[in-house]
A and B are shown apart, each in its own frame.
Chain A
Amino acid sequence: GQNIDQPTEMTATEGAIVQINCTYQTSGFNGLFWYQQHAGEAPTFLSYNVLDGLEEKGRFSSFLSRSKGYSYLLLKELQMKDSASYLCAVWAYSSASKIIFGSGTRLSIRP
């Protein structure tokens, strides 16, 4: 079956660092995406990992371990505007290639 797990909610402090984990079990794997979604808005692309390792992009970094079926999104120097849901999504391939989304992690930033 296809399964993507991430924590439902997290809270962090402005200026701090937070790590959002994602584990997945899918039929076939071609890559993993992270999206950010502010309340009432559309998801927007943050990162895409295909190979194992860390991809850094400004304050955001994403890590992938294909052998462990594990990824994390690391957010540094947190700002209030980072309060949003973060969606882990896997590009899976079984009978058809498609992207499967996790249920998202709602991150709240406190001053």
Chain B
Amino acid sequence: DTAVSQTPKYLVTQMGNDKSIKCEQNLGHDTMYWYKQDSKKFLKIMFSYNNKELIINETVPNRFSPKSPDKAHLNLHINSLELGDSAVYFCASSRVHNEQFFGPGTRLTVL
């Protein structure tokens, strides 16, 4: 009965690899987000989707590609991982412009 779930919780990989993080919400929200939280704990938005359409695309390298197969899912694929990609990635969902519900986070470590 988890509201927003992400998999995996931990991801350790080598530089140059490609990896994906999955996110699902069962709250019936129409908007989903990806955030990156770096070592200084600064939470920065990366992408936002509303009804499967991309509405926010911050200045994120094009190695990051979100995909929303339906309203309840927003996955994040990362190509050619770099050391600087190490961070905690949070998925979140909301009704448009309301409080956001966050997933548990995925701690990505690039070696």
Contact = CB atoms under 8 A, between A and B. Distances in A.
Nearest to A100: B45
B86 interface: no
A101 B104 contact: no
Contact of A33 (B44, B55, B99, B101): B99
Contact of B45 (A30, A44, A98, A104): A98
Given A42-B90, A43-B43, A97 B104 contact: no
Contacts of B12: none
Interface residues of B, number: 20
A98 B102 contact: no
A103 B41 CA distance: 7
Interface in A16-73: 30-31, 33, 37, 41-45, 48
Contact of B104 (A42, A87, A100): A42
A98 B43 contact: no
B28 to A, nearest CB: 17
Interface of B: 35, 40-45, 48, 55-56, 90, 97-105
